[in-house]
Chains A and B, each alone.
Chain A
């Protein structure tokens, strides 16, 4: 049973465009929502994270939008670049569970020059 559902599975975007990846969850007890970026042959790396008391968080070209009532959150990559081509994972964790994260199944992003 997938605790965090991620879509789309793959995404192709033109350079300079906006990439949007969506995630949905059921467990309202989740209190921390990170996004990870993974390049081939590498482990995932933390990109940006948000807590449910905030509706939006922006770091450079990356923005998380959080909709608590809909139990959804999304990653927006503005001005997408070929170097952003990677697999992106959303995740969620429960309070006081250390590093036990529930990950989405990933989105493979390709940015075409």
Chain B
């Protein structure tokens, strides 16, 4: 079974631009979560989508948004990029949430110049 895939793997953007990251979950998984990973803060929860609906949201500004499609694929968008948005963005999928095992993708490394 294919794992969680994220595209692109690397991105370089400049301040003020916007970016869209994509995540394809494991087949059959309906929950997709997004995390921001930085050296100082570790992994911080952004949001979770389940069956095309945002189920949970972390404490991030409105510049961070996401969506999920009917095939469970998810996208995350960051508008008006700031230097502090440079991070590894991880996507994780699971069957339905809660104590279902989350499977993480390799992440998208975003660098904001």
Shortest C-beta distance, B112 to chain A (Å), equals: 21
Task: Judge if B42 is at the interface, Cβ distance under 8 Å.
Answer: yes
Q: Mark B85-112, 1 if CB is under 8 A from A, else 0.
A: 0000010101001111111111100000
Task: Judge if B55 is at the interface, Cβ distance under 8 Å.
Answer: yes
Shortest C-beta distance, A107 to chain B (Å), equals: 10
Chain B residues touching A, range: 20 to 34
Task: Judge if A113 is at the interface, Cβ distance under 8 Å.
Answer: no
Tell me the interface secondary structure of chain B in the complex: strand
A41 adjacent to B106 (CB under 8 Å)? yes
Q: A43-B107, A44-B90, A44-B104 are in contact. Are A99 and B98 (CB under 8 A)?
A: yes
B90 adjacent to A43 (CB under 8 Å)? yes
A103 adjacent to B43 (CB under 8 Å)? yes
Q: A49-B99, A99-B31 are in contact. Are A89 and B43 (CB under 8 A)?
A: yes
Shortest C-beta distance, A11 to chain B (Å), equals: 16
Q: Chain A residues in contact with chain B, CB under 8 A?
A: 6, 32, 36, 41-46, 49, 89, 91, 96-106
